[in-house]
Amino acid sequence: MDQRFIINGGRRLKGEVHISGAKNAVLKLMAAALLLDDACEIHNVPELADVYIMVEVLKSLGAKVDYDTKEKKIRIDASELTSHEACYELVSKMRASFTVLGALLGRCKEAKVALPGGCSIGERRIDFHIKGLEALGAQVKIEGGYVIAKAKKLVGTTVYLDRPSVGATENVMIAAVLAEGSTIISNAAQEPEIADLANFLNAIGADVNGAGTSEIVINGVKQKDLHPTAYTTIPDRIEAGTYIAAVIATKGKAVIRNIFPSHLSAVTSKLSDMGAHITILDPFSIEVSCGKSLNAVNIVTQPHPGFPTDLQSPFMSVLAVAEGLSVITESIYENRFRQIGELTRMGANVQQEASRAIVKGVKSLTGAQVRASDLRAGASLLVAALIAQGTTEITGLYHIDRGYEKVVEKLSGLGADIQRLNIPESDINAKINVDEIYLT
């Protein structure tokens, strides 16, 4: 069966939406749980394809995992690991699973982890990961598509990252928890998910300071110092930003609940420039709305606290119907404009010039058949479909399901006309054959 979204656009979104736990935080907490020679619980876990993949990764290493989707919690017991090898079949599906490298090296002093996969949005090198782990005393080599790391012991040191890589910061931070002495990560990534990981590590007995700044200090502890915990992860700022984009684009009004407004400061600043209205209702809720028109703005993606690269795609859809000319500069990933071709099919006026996208606002978009090429491009198409006049059919839902929990239910709750359809394989083949006849 092939699945697709059918969206009848042009409706103003209104009401309220509850944001799920942060995918990019939860996955790293799950990997870090491998450090613990005991069990722990993680709460506010979203039901996503990526979480299921990470569950299988941990199980393949010998951890016992109980994932309660109803209660949004997961219990991980890594007391009896049976393997230090994370296989290609699982790691190749999701880049975040590569974080088990630091956890296995810290816990077992050896690890064999397949080179990572995930969305093809550009170069995401692992040399920063390797450089950091080697600085801690590991011998690391790449062989047969695997990263193989071994160390008699890990010793704290200063690790300077040439750029603030989120993944490298996480891998080094996790590995350094059980290293001897102190480790300093300089030019560290400052994303909220980094701080959440540090808070989780401290909750199980680690000594991590400075997370959320450019310098993180990890004072090594002993295995016996680590202990069980129950930890609640942060809300997903990217999911929140996507729903905000959808509400604003449709000239709607909605309350966004279960968020940390400070995590979205760069986004809300741009929204104000565009003419949207943002009101903080309480420490975990905001109200967003939009009048009759949106202004064009320029966006440059940057590491946190700058504008998130993960929200560049959905905001391109918003700017596609803003008044004037917008320029989006993608400074993080060189291949993250894959939504442009599909947006153009819907009537958007977007031209790519190397790392810049020139967006000239149009009066409206038109529904079309489009396909999600990656997670955030899929979010862009969702927003565009909600704006568009007529019906949009989106395929490639696997990508969207990796990062957005219960998206049909949440958008329907805001008044969107959206449904998920299962299309039998025979119907798909029949359509392909008809298309081939017309092409010839």
87 carries an active-site annotation = no
Residue 173 near residue 28 (C-beta atoms within 8 A): no
Q: Are residues 251 and 352 in the same domain?
A: yes
Q: Are residues 42 and 16 in the same domain?
A: no
State yes or no: cis peptide before 305, omega within 30 of 0: yes
Token code pair at residue 318: 């918003």
Look at the chain and count its residues: 440
Q: Are residues 325 and 396 in the same domain?
A: yes
- DSSP for 51-106, written as a single string: HHHHHHHHHHTT-EEEEETTTTEEEEE-TT---SEE-HHHHTT-GGGGGHHHHHHH
Domain end, chosen from 213, 232, 251, is at: 232
Task: Report pLDDT for 201.
Answer: 98
CA-CA distance, 77 to 22, in Å (whole number)?
A: 22
Q: Are residues 240 and 174 in the same domain?
A: no
Instruction: List CB contacts of 248: < 8 A, sequence separation 6 or more.
Output: 271, 274, 276, 288, 289, 290, 294, 318
Q: Are residues 275 and 153 in the same domain?
A: no
Token code pair at residue 390: 């007529």
Q: Are residues 297 and 220 in the same domain?
A: no
CA-CA distance, 375 to 265, in Å (whole number)?
A: 23
Q: Are residues 215 and 322 in the same domain?
A: no
pTM of structure: 0.93
Task: Report pLDDT for 427.
Answer: 56
Domain end, chosen from 232, 252, 267, is at: 232
CA-CA distance, 230 to 164, in Å (whole number)?
A: 29
Task: Report pLDDT for 1.
Answer: 67
Strand partners for 172: none
Token code pair at residue 366: 């038109």
Domain end, chosen from 208, 232, 256, is at: 232
Q: Are residues 297 and 420 in the same domain?
A: yes
Which residues in 340-372 are b (16+ Cβ under 10 Å) and which e?
A: bebbebbbbebeeeebbbebebbeebbbbebbb
Q: Are residues 188 and 281 in the same domain?
A: no
Q: Where are the alpha helices (DSSP H) in 142-191?
A: 166-176
Task: Report pLDDT for 123.
Answer: 41
Instruction: List CB contacts of 89: < 8 A, sequence separation 6 or more.
Output: none
Q: Please pick, among 87, 108, 119, 290, the residue that the annotation labels catalytic.
A: 119
SS3 at position 198: helix
SS3 at position 20: coil
Q: Are residues 31 and 69 in the same domain?
A: yes
CA distances from 28 to 45, 125, 232 (A): 12, 18, 13
Specify the number of domains making up the chain.
2
Q: Give the CATH number, domain containing residue 399.
A: 3.65.10.10
Q: Are residues 239 and 218 in the same domain?
A: no
Which residue type sits at 221? V
CA-CA distance, 246 to 225, in Å (whole number)?
A: 46
CA distances from 273 to 197, 299, 306, 331 (A): 32, 11, 15, 21
Task: Please identify every stretch of the chain with a pLDDT value under 70, giving residue numbers as ranges.
Answer: 1, 117-124, 334-335, 424-440
Residue 3 near residue 393 (C-beta atoms within 8 A): no
CA distances from 78 to 42, 233, 318 (A): 14, 19, 44
Q: Are residues 10 and 35 in the same domain?
A: no
Which residue type sits at 400? I
Provide the 8-state DSSP code for 11.
Answer: P
Unique residue bearing structure tokens 């979010």: 379
Neighbours of 425 (CB within 10 A): 9
For residue 149, the enclosing domain spans 23-232
